[in-house]
Structure 1
């Protein structure tokens, strides 16, 4: 691990700065949209646009890297991110913001693909699982710390847009100056959605529903907070608790997933997360209980991403796991695009509580479908299941493929003669 850190510390530092910038701009737009008088539906389109760009970037970035290389792609896309963030307060119009969010999403996706390919190249078979864990921790620290930055200036001014722009700009330096050599890049051809659904219905359906859950958390939580009249400090804490919960629960849930039927764990996580959302519906006027709701939702929804990947792997041959990663990311992206728009529509019809109604419906749907799948297919013996590797919905398909590589390597080690579990 120390050898990995010595070669990848600059990359991890750069990624943390990127997550700081992304976390600030996403929450800030939710608050600033309320100040500018944008409607809930307009803000839902703004937030959904990010995931349209992100999904497009995940498909196009590999070809861009093959054509011009990692360094040029990273520098160009990060420059666009920095510029667009500055333009938000200059053109306070929802349709301009929609275009900006598409560009931002596309660029962040490409940056993640580039940086994560470096990360995967820096890791070895022996430390890949630890490298993924460290990357998840760095991401979480970046997003949570970003919420504290929102308290440093007035969201109605320019300063809070300048800060993430600067953070993204300086993230180039440690990565571009310290990471060498650049790795060869190969993207796996995604498995067809039909084959993916046939091999793991729960993995495919769960990923689609989880995309809606995650995009509502990442895109609409600040919009909800602004609509119910929370202060900037309260909104920052509310948004942070989604990721604090994920950080705390990610590893215990991962430990359990290697020791029991994963469908049971998916159902349990969906149920607890759904009950957390119901708490937000019923006790939405109590700020402490809003924090509890956010912790439970984030804590049990974010680890579901890794859990559903591991469950899908249980029904795949080793040679198909890498191909499945592209399909899973694509399905999750489709759900993420729809999430903010549906959340905004429900909030417009039912009021701010519609935010938690939407989350409750999706989380409980995941739980119910997991229970149904337990009746439709026999469980795989625990000793025959693959390993759990932590990865977050904010990651690109490269990180998901790295998690697949870790699972394949772990399975192959267990199959070696003389292996004792």
Structure 2
């Protein structure tokens, strides 16, 4: 059985390692689209790099479980950090769209593998009394780390290879706490048991919401620096824009999530879709000469996107019996990864035909379609007593719920939302 004597301080090594990972990812998430947009690379290159991250993440979802069962959590974490380093080296050798897309694909595969390892380890190490708080703290530190990494990019030269070298530095730091932790390895993760019919029966709103959130998150977070660089926004201002977008998650998601504990979560999802639409339309009209207002709009927009993911996850858990938590988490993880790959791919293909604002239209379309779907479902199904409703917990659409694990005796561990 899980060691319940672990204290919250015992998981510090995992939190510190993943924060270092986030810092490196934040640097590269700003550096790659900015340089590809400004370097005269083909118009498809920056969008392809975003799609490659998501596609690599989908591969990571498939291979992480078998690899953990083969070599264990700690060894696979080190191996995945090696993939991050190789990806950064491909980018450090100079601007080459093919190498850079491949490098971001390697990061995507390693990134989702890291999430599965970290979340499984946290679930195993934490007791029931403070597991939810631990997971919320994990999400907050990771997202703040992403923003801090983007800010760091704004402080170093974009020319040359200092940014990928900084990523390699943070990756090396990330290996140390995990390698030296005294926490025992958790049991191997459960087989990824995808059960779309079950999830659809229990919570169509939850399933479609995770699909919507996967596409929305990758589009908004990925194409915003490309859009800003196309409009001659300076490197420092692009970095600050990406930093405040991460802060938007905390200031927008928490109040809306708390509201979803008090009223029908579907009403909150409708409100959030409306907020996404309003902020996206505002993005068309806010001038790049008014950066403070632009940053406010994009911060609220980004925070609303994160809210779709967390509230949809909570709604799906509300409607699902405890014995189905593992296939629910597996199905939502695969749904998120698939949408996060296909929607950016569609935007990448459409952008040369239309213009640089294609991603804004795509976000509006996804939000309105999901809003209409939720309204339709509310007409067909009244609010019901949830099978496992607990309090809302902060989640990030940039860190998909990958914590599908079982106890050694086969008993499912309840997934914190």
For 1:45, the equivalent position in structure 2 comes to 48
Flag the 1:278–1:346 CA change in 2: closer, same or farther, 3 A.
farther
The answer on 1:305 being equivalent to 2:309 is yes
Distance 1:249 1:404 in 2: 29
Task: Specify every segment of 5 or more residues in structure 2 that has no aligned partner in the other structure, as ranges.
Answer: 407-411
Structure 1 contact 254–307 (Cα < 8 Å) conserved: yes
Question: Which is worse superposed, 323-332 or 349-358?
Answer: 349-358
Query: Which consecutive unaligned segments of at least 5 residues does structure 1 have?
Result: 409-421
Cα distance, 1:13–1:25 mapped onto 2, change above 3 Å? same
CA 1:382 to 1:61, structure 2 compared with 1: closer, same or farther past 3 Å?
closer
- 1:405 is aligned to 2:414: yes
Aligned residues of 2:214 and 2:337 also touching (Cα < 8 A): yes
Which one of the candidate residues 347, 361, 364 is aligned to 1:360? 364
- CA displacement at 1:341 relative to structure 2: 2.2
Q: Which 10-residue stretch deviates more, 84-93 or 225-234? A: 84-93
CA RMSD, 1 decimal: 2.3
Q: How does 1:18-417 map to 2 (within 5 A)?
A: 18-285=21-288, 286-381=290-385, 385-399=389-403, 405-406=414-415
Q: For 1:405, what is the secondary structure of its paired residue?
A: coil
Give the equivalent residue in structure 2 for 1:413. none
Match of 2:353, SS state, is: helix
Separation in 1 of the partners of 2:198 and 2:387? 25
Shift of 1:404: 8.0
Q: Which residue of 1 aligns with 2:409?
A: none
The CA deviation at 1:212 is: 1.0
Partners of 1:400 and 1:259 lie apart in 2 by: 28
Distance 1:169 1:385 in 2: 40
Shift in Å, 1:115: 2.0
The answer to whether the 8 Å contact 1:15/1:139 transfers is yes
Structure 1: how far apart are the matches of 2:163 and 2:105?
20
User: Shift of residue 23 of structure 1?
Assistant: 1.2
Deviation at 1:400, TM superposition (A): 6.8
CA displacement 1:342-374 (0-9 Å, x = unmatched): 223443233222232222222222222211211
TM-score, normalisation: structure 2? 0.91
Distance apart, 1:249 and its partner CA: 2.1
